[in-house]
Amino acid sequence: MMKNRILCIGEILWDLLPAGAKAGGAPMNVALHLLKLGFEVRFAGKVGKDELGDSLRNFLQSNGLDITLLQVDDKLPTSTVVVHLGPDNQVDFEIVDNVAWDRIEFTDDLLGTSRKSDVIIYGTLAARHEFSRNTILGALKNTSGIKLIDVNLRAPYNKKEIVEPLLEIADIAKLNDDELRHIGKWYDKSGEEKELTKWLSDKFKCDLICITRGARGALIYNKGEFHEHPGFKVKVEDTVGSGDAFLAGFLANHLAGKDLYSSLEFACATGALVATKAGATPDYKIDEINEIIKTLGIKQTV
């Protein structure tokens, strides 16, 4: 295990894909990927007191993830999301409202874990309603660790008043190019991608920004410097969870002290590997990620 203690907090659900149901939820996906990459990870979320919730608990346990922070709601159901796979690997989601993870409680155990965490990873979707949003903000305000936001704008919850306080507290932000432009519009900002990325960093005093570009790869901005990677050309099964794998791959290398370009390259390879497999958290080995870098890798571009 790596020495860094990581807390992921947010949604947990069943992705209802055309090929069948797969366990999902961005922070849960990231937690499982980080676990595969050798980190000490805890996940805080909430399921319903129902068969779907029991199945998710069993899924996490079978994958070796600590579930002591996984809460159970007596009234609200376990979340499901219908996933539609469109042309050019586009993904659309039908997200049910008023589900168990909308009522994540700020328990004493969650407070204690927050204080001990070296990194807290959180998203914007689980903060769509005030109750869970306050819990997430409570965890963030009680840590001296790195605060990493995984922006996940899903209509109709892609609103400025939800996302802004979460960005204001972040040390690292990961989002895609569409989300970057969407946030820019809130403040009447437009322009070239790098210009917007620098503006976002300055606006929210967030030194490190990761922008994913789908098939075009990704870029990182850090204190005035850009690093870019065009991604890896692979045969795509589905792109569900690829961004979560990207985030875990980046953070794993960044925490290990690797340079930003190497971290970006590993992140892109991790996301590409997951895209070749069905579901958000498929089985794989680190050797498979390194093989993509070895066989499909390119020279650095800055």
pTM, full prediction: 0.93
Chain-centroid distance of CA 39 in Å reads 16
The H or E element containing residue 48 is strand 40-48
Neighbouring residues of 33: CB distance < 8 A, sequence distance ≥ 6: 244, 245, 247, 248, 249, 270, 274, 281
Q: Which of 276, 21, 46, 11 is nearest to 157 (CA)?
A: 11
Q: Which domains does the chain have, with CATH numbers?
A: 5-296 (3.40.1190.20)
pLDDT at 215: 84
Q: Quick check: 95 and 156 in contact, CB under 8 A?
A: no
Residue ranges in the chain whose pLDDT is less than 50: 300-302
pLDDT at 301: 44
The angle subtended at Cα 216 by Cα 210 and Cα 221, nearest 5°, is: 25
Measured from the Cβ of residue 73, the count of other Cβ atoms closer than 10 Å reads: 20
| Range 170-209 burial, b when 16+ CB lie within 10 A, else e | bebbbbbbebbebbbeeeeeeeebeebbbbbbebbebebb
> What DSSP designation does 78 have?
P
Residue with tokens 């807290």: 120
Alpha carbon distance 162, 2 (integer Å)? 33
Q: Quick check: 270 and 281 in contact, CB under 8 A?
A: no
User: Rounded to 10 degrees, what is the CA torsion of 42, 44, 263, 219?
Assistant: 180
Q: Quick check: 71 and 45 in contact, CB under 8 A?
A: yes
Residue with tokens 């969407």: 182
pLDDT at 3: 67
pLDDT at 31: 97
Residue 199 tokens, joined: 């503006």
Q: Respond yes or no on whether the N-terminal peptide bond of residue 156 is cis (omega within 30° of 0).
A: yes
Q: Which residues pair with 148 in a beta bridge?
A: 121, 172
Alpha carbon distance 281, 274 (integer Å)? 7
pLDDT at 2: 60
β-pairing, 119-123 vs 5-9, is parallel
pLDDT at 89: 62
> What DSSP designation does 212 have?
E
pLDDT at 88: 66
